[in-house]
Amino acid sequence: MADQQHLSRVDEFVDRLASLPFATWAEIGAGVSGDRDLLARRATAHTLLDAILADRQLLVTAWYVRDAVDTAAFLASRTAITPKSAQRRLFAAAHGAAEAAALALLAADHLARADRDVLCEPFAEYLPGPTEGAFAFIRVHSRLD
């Protein structure tokens, strides 16, 4: 079962996502979709994350996390003024990245640091904090970029 600290971080992260406007999601999506090397590393990390969620019996909890992220994305989509198809694609990329980040927070103790970093990086400035340990590198790294 997921530990309460991780669930609290997921809740806080999703609350922050719910307050983001569509334009911010689209900007994040542009960053996620623009780097092929990053896409490949994220795909590998996501595969590992899926295996961990199954192995640790977190699939039902992961379903709730995905539902919460979907709700936050829906709220953000309501702030768009008739988005163009390119903007919708960027939004979809950010939605996928937000889901991966939330699930990485859920499985933080079981996922290698490099995999957590690559999954959480697109939303680093919206992660709960201040945090010690696992996500400290992401925060420092994102401020330097």
Are 65 and 102 contacting, i.e. CB atoms less than 8 angstroms apart?
yes
Q: What is the pLDDT of residues 96-133, one digit of tens each?
A: 999 999 999 999 999 999 999 999 999 999 999 754 44
Query: pTM score, two decimals?
Result: 0.86
Instruction: Please state, in angstroms and rounded to a whole number, the distance separating the CA atoms of residues 97 and 35.
Output: 13
pLDDT bucket at 15, cuts 50 / 70 / 90: very high
The answer to whether the bond into 130 is cis (omega within 30° of 0) is: yes
Are 101 and 115 contacting, i.e. CB atoms less than 8 angstroms apart?
no
Are 116 and 108 contacting, i.e. CB atoms less than 8 angstroms apart?
yes
CB atoms within 10 A of CB 139: 16
Both structure tokens of 5: 């600290």
Residue 138 has pLDDT above 80, yes or no: no
Q: What is the pLDDT of residues 27-82, one digit of tens each?
A: 999 999 988 888 899 999 999 999 999 999 999 999 999 999 999 999 999 988 88
Residue 21 belongs to domain spanning? 4-144
pLDDT bucket at 2, cuts 50 / 70 / 90: low
Report the domain count for the chain: 1
* Sign of CA pseudo-dihedral 4, 71, 58, 112: negative
